[in-house]
Chain A
């Protein structure tokens, strides 16, 4: 569905992403992991179309990504960033409505408002809606941003597959918000939405991911489709950390301790 062929990315002489080919099957939860500077964000930016690869091609539904107009792209994929710097006062309502900007010119339609309402309901953010965004806590602002992102790619008719990119979405959220946000993302996979997320917590990843890509020094080194493939040497190789894997049995996912 989303496919990268021989893409690479360099700034000047420095190669941030070595030649890589990778495909993302639809309606699954893909997680990208790796140490800092491994090229995770670079890969995500290329896939999301905000940076152009120095070489290679990216296809979305068999159509090259640079054949899409910015506006078309905005209706089929959305990106949640780690955090946002909002300089001016704005209500949470207006913030979520921004997700519908690609769909209306001056005044939002009834449908736009309806979708915003549904998106905030999914995120359980209704009681925050009339507040000033800048007075919210970190976890609450991320809830609002996630609502905005969901409103942007809301699949009313399940007509077309869409992509949700999450760039370290939970790095500074507490456990409750982390799980809530990832659970919602996971639910979206049932609504014809493919999730591609960068995460740092390996146990969270094991909990939600259908597939984990492990990156190191600008390359995808491992592709984990089965939780059993995560081994101590793999973790040592990628993260340079000694770990122990605990298998609780009974089909529970393994727990990794450092």
Chain B
């Protein structure tokens, strides 16, 4: 455990995040120089007279590039914080929203709304329409998470093998359901929901940024209140109870908050795996398992890493784009295997990772 203070990590990660945000607003199908970016902001804020208010690069920057980069940061934060929360709750380092079905359940809920939304909301479409997508994404994510959680936590102890198997089954069921909806979809646009199993940020716009931004920020602020209780959970559920913590209530709240932030992000960008696994793990190795630190730092580091992944996805096959989920999977899956192997080795040595 190193001596660098928590504050040092917060500050350096914040600076890195800022840099990665600025750099990633530059690159993409259309290259925008830093000078352009500065003048765009100047125009918007009225510092620099705007001779050509509707220039294509400027419109592209404000309508497409900027919301995408900000959305990406929020999604990265949401998924990584979710990984930290789930790992603390399951008391296991190989849990993340993609593995326990939260993401795919939310994607199924969202696919349902895309395909069936108009049919079920009928004449009230204008009224309830905007709430349907987040609601069903949340519902789908919650059902999937609870299912995996109940199946894997028999006798008060989370069995990792059962959890992974239950996760596989629930994920298969949910992506099967998503596939079914994309198959019966009449609207050609809805057919593209298959992309959800790989994730994409191309749908980014300002309303999406608002939805994910607000849900993620609120979720993180709320779960910070539970960071001490989550630390105590490390001792075991009964032992945390002896420290005055109502573990049943805690777990229920964490599942709700966690599903909420993941579902909102997933309803916009689809399933992006592994980011929630790697980020808390890296931070734990770098500094500490203290959940207060993990939640704050995961939000920052998750935003940075997903931004970098998105940059890669925009650049390598430009002007077209690469599904970001493939990149996170290519990087994340080997890391996942590495952790898995290390854990099973520890188990053989009589360690406590079981």
Contact = CB atoms under 8 A, between A and B. Distances in A.
B239 A81 contact: yes
A73 B289 CA distance: 27
A38 B37 CA distance: 75
Interface of B: 1, 87, 91-93, 228, 231-232, 234-236, 238-239, 241-246, 284, 288-290, 292, 352-354
A81 B243 contact: no
B196 to A, nearest CB: 32
Interface of A: 48, 50, 69-75, 77-79, 81, 84-91, 94, 98-99, 101-102, 105-106, 130, 132, 134, 152
Nearest to B290: A94
A75 B1 CA distance: 30
B149 to A, nearest CB: 17
Contact of B352 (A50, A85, A101): A85
- 9 closest residue pairs by CB, A with B: A74-B244, A88-B289, A71-B244, A85-B352, A70-B244, A102-B244, A79-B242, A87-B91, A101-B243
Contacts of A88: 87, 93, 234, 284, 289
Contacts of B231: 94, 98, 101
Contact of A152 (B243, B245, B292): B243
Given A86-B235, A91-B1, A73 B244 contact: yes
A173 to B, nearest CB: 17
Nearest to B91: A87
A98 B291 CA distance: 13
B321 to A, nearest CB: 37
Nearest to A103: B244
Given A79-B239, A98-B235, A106-B228, 11 more contacts: A77-B242, A79-B242, A85-B354, A87-B91, A87-B352, A87-B353, A88-B234, A91-B1, A98-B243, A101-B232, A102-B243
Contacts of A87: 91-93, 234, 352-353
19 contacts: A48-B242, A50-B241, A70-B245, A74-B243, A78-B242, A84-B235, A84-B239, A87-B234, A87-B352, A87-B353, A88-B284, A88-B289, A89-B288, A91-B288, A98-B231, A98-B232, A98-B235, A99-B243, A101-B244
A111 B246 CA distance: 25
Nearest to B353: A87
A50 B242 contact: yes
A91 B1 CA distance: 8
B235 A50 contact: no
Contacts of A152: 243
A88 B93 CA distance: 8
A116 to B, nearest CB: 14
A72 B241 CA distance: 12
Most chain A beta-carbon contacts within 10 A, residue among B91, B231, B242, B352: B242
B308 to A, nearest CB: 26
B289 A50 contact: no
B243 A86 contact: no
A84 B241 CA distance: 14
A89 B1 contact: yes
Nearest to B249: A70
A70 B87 CA distance: 25
Contacts of B244: 69-75, 101-102
Contact of B242 (A74, A106, A130): A74
Contacts of A132: 1
Contacts of B234: 86-88, 90
Contacts of B238: 50, 81
Nearest to B90: A87
Contact of B289 (A72, A89, A106): A89
A11 B311 CA distance: 57
A48 B244 CA distance: 12
Nearest to A70: B244
A134 B289 CA distance: 12
Most chain B beta-carbon contacts within 10 A, residue among A48, A69, A70, A88: A88
A102 B93 CA distance: 26
Contacts of B352: 85-87, 134
A91 B91 CA distance: 17
A98 B232 CA distance: 7
Contacts of B87: 88
Given A91-B1, A101-B228, A84 B246 contact: no
A79 B236 CA distance: 13
Nearest to A45: B238
A189 to B, nearest CB: 20
Contacts of A106: 228, 292
Contacts of B288: 89-91, 94
Contacts of B241: 50, 70
Contacts of A69: 244
A151 to B, nearest CB: 11
Contacts of A74: 242-244
A102 B236 CA distance: 16
Nearest to A105: B228
Contacts of A73: 244
A99 B243 CA distance: 7
A127 B129 CA distance: 62
A106 B293 CA distance: 12
Most chain B beta-carbon contacts within 10 A, residue among A48, A75, A78, A85: A85
A50 B331 CA distance: 44
A152 B232 CA distance: 13
Contacts of B232: 98, 101
Nearest to B157: A85
Contacts of B93: 87-88
A152 to B, nearest CB: 7
